[in-house]
Amino acid sequence: MRKNYPIRLTTITPVCIGTGQKLSPYADYIIDEDSKKIFYVDQALVKRKIAEKLNLIDEYVHGVSTGMDNNRSRFNLYKFLKAKLNIDVYTQHQLQLDCEAQGNKELCTIIKNAGIYPYIPGSSIKGAIKTALLYDWIINSKDGRSWLQRFVSALLQNRDDKEMWTKLENELEQALSLFERLHVTDSTQLNDDDMIVIETKRIHIGTGELTIPQVWEAILEEKQIEFHLGIPYTNLSLVDLIECINRFSQDNNQKELMLLNKFGTVFKDKYPEDYTDLVTFYEQINYDIQQSQNKTAYLRIGSGKGYYFNSIAVAVANYEEGKYFSAFLKKYGKGYKFKNPHKFPVTRPIDMSSFKPLGWVKFEVID
């Protein structure tokens, strides 16, 4: 048995729940930078037109697959469709969205119904909540604190002890299974005009420099949807759940603020407005959490959450002032060498149109 609560979710920053699929600028979409619009190619229409002009198949396939035309110039999808197939994508398209991105980059897609109507899967919401609950178990329960002590000890002394690691991992899985009985429905649907195409870049917290651009479909800020949260009749109450989520988010925000303050001197000097915008954003989230009345929770979901929205990572980073975090990265850092582990990770994905971190949402219990 469980008690069910209707929840209103409001997006605070753009939210991207990725499908893992990407669209090509040479086959799937066209950006009009003047109007800041993106037009998705109607592939069914293209197939019908190509079937009427089979002599164009090779030229079309070559342009789509290589990004080059027969004259070794960049393949212009709009001109090809207009001149060769009599398709004007600006008026004949599958979908049209506002677009803040430029250039010819692959477009990362988000989950949508019928390829048009975005929503947030219950599994994504549940996964984020479980991460917060597991973090709370690690730092606040007797069993969790014991596990963390033995975990950091193993990092220092028993890195190759497979039996020890298996035991620790099984204990963590068992703790995580305590939250499996949470039930979260998929959200209600949004409309296509509740989406936008954004460009993200990774900002270096030390220098403020921006690198690694990506183009994403995203749910816009300040959009509201609803879902249902089912909490089993256990020792976990709705108030406990909200407090766990908010404590997790605050601890992550404090980590971000500490890193910006400690290592962002060059960033602050070179780009004072950008630096202040980020600091102000994190401080505002913390203030909002402090003002909430046990019916509102703040959390990050989807792509771009960042490394510290990971139960174990932030727990180890905060444990005894982070003195074991270097050992943690040595085991779980995928072989990377870190000049200063306490600055890791040094980059964060930022939405370039709003200059905010991705994925922040607010949960409110509907009375």
Mean pLDDT in residue range 93-114:
93
Query: Is the bond leading into 345 cis (omega within 30 degrees of zero)?
Result: yes
pLDDT digits (tens, 9 = 90+) for 204-249: 999 999 999 999 999 999 999 999 999 986 778 899 999 999 999 9
- pTM score of the predicted model: 0.91
Minimal CA–CA distance to 15: which of 349, 367, 364? 349
pLDDT digits (tens, 9 = 90+) for 300-354: 999 987 665 577 888 888 888 888 888 888 877 665 566 676 777 788 899 998 8
Q: How many Cα atoms are found within 13 Å in the side-chain-facing hemisphere of 88?
A: 2
pLDDT at 310: 74
CA distances from 101 to 30, 35, 108, 217, 312 (A): 11, 12, 12, 10, 35
Higher pLDDT, 288 or 178: 288
Residue ranges per domain, the chain?
2-17+119-190+200-365, 23-110
Statement: residue 71 has pLDDT above 60: yes
Cβ atoms 129, 51 nearer than 8 A: no
Q: What is residue 54's DSSP assignment?
A: G
**Pairing mode, strands 224-232 and 183-184:** antiparallel
Mean pLDDT in residue range 260-289:
94
Cite the beta strand spans of 167-320 per DSSP E.
183-184, 195-204, 210-219, 224-232, 296-300
**CA–CA separation, 222 vs 362, rounded Å?**
10
Mean residue pLDDT across the chain: 89
Cα–chain-centroid distance for residue 223?
Answer: 16
pLDDT at 44: 94
Statement: residue 135 has pLDDT above 90: yes
Which range of 58-62, 65-69, 361-365 scores highest in mean pLDDT? It is 361-365
Task: Read off the pLDDT band of 65 (50, 70, 90).
Answer: confident
List the structure tokens of 47. Answer: 């197939």
**CA–CA separation, 29 vs 42, rounded Å?**
9
Instruction: Spell out the SS3 assignment of 114-168.
Output: CCCEECCCHHHHHHHHHHHHHHHHHHHCHHHHHHHHHHHHHHHHCCCCHHHHHHH
Task: Read off the pLDDT band of 161 (50, 70, 90).
Answer: confident
Mean pLDDT in residue range 15-37:
94
Which residues make beta-bridge pairs with 231?
3
Cβ atoms 347, 204 nearer than 8 A: yes
**CA–CA separation, 326 vs 324, rounded Å?**
6
Statement: residue 67 has pLDDT above 80: no
pLDDT at 109: 97
pLDDT digits (tens, 9 = 90+) for 140-150: 999 999 999 99
pLDDT at 344: 75
Q: How many Cα atoms are found within 13 Å in the side-chain-facing hemisphere of 213?
A: 14
Statement: residue 179 has pLDDT above 60: yes
In three-state secondary structure terms, 195 is strand
Please count the other Cβ atoms lying within 10 Å of the Cβ belonging to residue 142.
7
Mean pLDDT in residue range 62-80:
79
pLDDT at 308: 53
pLDDT at 212: 92
